[in-house]
Chain A
Amino acid sequence: MSVLVEISEVSKVYERGRQKVEVLHHVDLDIQQGDFLALMGPSGSGKTTLLNLIGGLDSPTEGTLSVAGKRIDNLGEGALAKWRAANVGFVFQFYNLLPMLSARKNVELPLLLTRLGAAQRKRNANVALELVGLADRAVHKPGELSGGQQQRVAIARAIVSDPTLLVCDEPTGDLDRHSAEEILTLLQQLNRDHGKTIIMVTHDPKAAEYARHVLHLDKGTLVERLAHGSSGPETVPA
């Protein structure tokens, strides 16, 4: 497997008034193409910040960050937006669907940024909804769907433009155990059967078990990396 994400000496400092808070401290990390990585750690450890940097939602204060060989740490806002549209799918804890649009229209959103025609957009959205098992709910609005179904719509929206990378921030944090298992199984299936590289932030150790690797952060530093093999988890150098 080749390296998809290369993070080298990345630091992130936020300014809160006059105070500077270093959230990530010289992080080095390589993520393989096709990996399913869970980022864990206590609140404030920097896992969401690291996810945001990898997803191109924010830029590092120091260091370099490449995805599929392309440096994204030095891209401007407009270029980053284009890059995100082409390369990354996002799944959030609270689904973040647009309430006034149907499930299909929500899934179609990323395709509005492409040159696809309306009919093709609709077809692609239907395929994505079918993949997450919600083809029969295409015309329902988010308010008419359960939490688990909404998250599946969000996953369909994340994969509809066939991105290289899926970044998921606590995708099961707002779901009951049963729905959470369905979502995690779906993510695992996307990783295994469709080759999607997935990076997932989670607090839940059970959710992390669905990942191939688990990375622990504490105070902005990588502290431990576990691999889930056939003989159980093993500790590897972070």
Chain B
Amino acid sequence: MKYFHLVWGALFRSKTRTLFTLLSVLAAFLLFGLLDSVRTAFANASGSVAGVNRLVTFSKVSFTMALPKSLQPRIQAIPGVAEVSYANWFGGIYQDPKNFFPSEAVAENFLDLYPEWVLSPAERDAFRHTRSGAVIGQSLADRFHFKVGDKIPLQATIFPRKDGSNGWDFDLVGIYHVKDPKLKGQENALFFNWNYFDESTRFSSGGSTVGWYVLKMSDPNQADGVAQAVDALSTDSDHETKTQSEQSFTASFVKQFADIGLIVGAIMGAVFFTLVLLTGNTMAQAVRERIPELAVLKTIGFSNPSVLGLVLAESVLLLVLGGAVGMALAGAVIDITRAQMGNTIPLAPVDASTWLRAVGLMIAIGLIVGALPAIRGMRLRIVDALAGR
């Protein structure tokens, strides 16, 4: 700590240059905080704990291929399975394609498998008994200012009605909310009655097929055995199944649209590569200008490792200062966005693990960009540096 004023002074020797470099570091870590939040939100879409309690069974060939409804009682009979429900992707659009949110037709008992979705008994009852009834998450309700009693018109993109029209009207009978902030992304969906869907769509299977099954486990420790037993039911049939945790299922589903992790990784790779070049250049220039000063430090007795450490500390401090402000801003932006838009955009709070990754990156980039200038400072010959050679 006794050298801190030296490091601080050196960092702000050229205030304008340092300020602009700090701004670029800040921008990079603001982006990191936001993108990592999106990545985390997708990764936590089903929640790791909840996923252990539930399995999803879908077609091994493709998620879009239907499964026979006759599987339901056979799955239900497998030891370890507490309850089985099913659903089908609907994919309707509210007013404009940019308003997209997930919508699914679900079996009557589907909500029973999701006790973490807080819904009053009256709302659950209304959902069961209203043919065109639908429930939505609080975030979705906040986003479009929906309230119980509203009619929600959706335009079908896959499933037209029997009369050929694409207009589906749903009666909003309940709004659920999720307590765990990490699972708030689950509030951005609409669920409606399977029977209404199957009886109204032109592509009705007459109740013989479903999109996928959701299994509630009586003992999460039996998940592996149950998954194998379920898939064994359809081995060598024309509807072989794949059973996995809900989390893996969600990840596979999202991957159909885009690999969020890959996209975030690619963007951040490009951002940090640019940051390394930019701050590396700044540090090189800063140290080049201070060669006589470093020579003076060595003259009065600072050792080579001390000079190396001072320059490295300076570059790490540069990254940590800009990075910390950027991450704090990212946290604030995410909090404000979540408060105002109710998780319309899937964003997870900037938590300790994100901060830890960010601090690791700050230190690593600081050491990388400071390495060459620090080595140059360490190796300088005093007599040459003082003579301006």
Contact = CB atoms under 8 A, between A and B. Distances in A.
A and B form one complex: yes
Interface of A: 49, 52, 55, 57-58, 77-78, 81-82, 84-86, 90, 92, 96, 98-101, 105, 109-110, 112-113, 118, 157
A101 B10 CA distance: 9
A57 B299 contact: yes
Nearest to B5: A105
Most B CB contacts (10 A, CB to CB) among A52, A81, A86, A96 go to A81
Given A81-B302, A90-B299, 17 more contacts: A49-B383, A52-B383, A57-B386, A78-B303, A78-B304, A81-B303, A81-B304, A84-B299, A85-B300, A92-B296, A96-B295, A96-B296, A98-B6, A98-B293, A100-B10, A105-B5, A118-B2
Interface in B330-389: 382-383, 386
A195 B296 CA distance: 25
A77 B299 CA distance: 11
Nearest to B303: A81
A55 B296 CA distance: 13
Given A90-B299, A96-B293, A110-B301, A101 B383 contact: no
Contact of A92 (B5, B12, B386): B386
Given A58-B382, A99-B13, A82 B301 contact: yes
Nearest to B9: A100
8 contacts: A55-B299, A81-B302, A81-B303, A82-B303, A92-B296, A100-B10, A101-B9, A105-B5
B299 A101 contact: no
Contact of A84 (B9, B293, B300): B300
Given A52-B383, A57-B383, A112-B2, A90 B300 contact: yes
A81 B296 CA distance: 12
A58 B384 CA distance: 10
B124 to A, nearest CB: 67
Nearest to A111: B2
Contacts of B13: 99-100
Contacts of B299: 55, 57, 84, 90
* Chain A CB within 10 Å, residue with most, of B13, B297, B299: B299
B292 interface: yes
Looking at chain B's contact residues, is the secondary structure mostly helix, strand, loop, or mixed?
helix
Interface string B1-24: 011011001101100000000000
Contacts of A92: 296, 386
A195 to B, nearest CB: 21
Contacts of A118: 2
Nearest to A169: B386
A157 B300 contact: yes
A110 B300 contact: yes
B298 interface: yes
A157 B5 CA distance: 17
Interface of B: 2-3, 5-6, 9-10, 12-13, 292-293, 295-304, 382-383, 386
Contacts of B300: 84-85, 90, 109-110, 113, 157
A57 to B, nearest CB: 5
A77 B293 contact: no
Contacts of A57: 299, 382-383, 386
Contacts of A84: 299-301
Contacts of A96: 292-293, 295-296, 386
A15 B291 CA distance: 22
A4 B10 CA distance: 37
Contacts of A105: 5, 9
Given A57-B383, A101-B5, A101-B9, A113 B302 contact: yes
Contacts of B10: 100
A86 B12 CA distance: 30
B139 to A, nearest CB: 50
Nearest to B15: A100
Contacts of B301: 81-82, 84-86, 110, 113
B84 to A, nearest CB: 71
A106 B5 CA distance: 11
B303 A98 contact: no
Nearest to A80: B301
B217 to A, nearest CB: 62
Contacts of B9: 98, 100-101, 105
B15 to A, nearest CB: 10
A78 B12 CA distance: 29
A127 B20 CA distance: 40
A148 B274 CA distance: 45
A109 B300 CA distance: 8
B380 to A, nearest CB: 11
Contacts of B295: 96
Contacts of A49: 383
A12 to B, nearest CB: 10
Contacts of A101: 5-6, 9
Contacts of A78: 303-304
B12 A100 contact: yes
A78 B303 CA distance: 6
A160 to B, nearest CB: 10
Nearest to B382: A57
Contact of A81 (B5, B298, B383): B298
Nearest to B2: A112
A120 to B, nearest CB: 12
Contacts of B292: 96
B383 to A, nearest CB: 5
Contact of B297 (A52, A99, A109): A109
A55 B9 CA distance: 28
What 5 A-B pairs are tightest by C-beta distance, nearest first? A85-B301, A100-B9, A96-B296, A81-B303, A57-B382
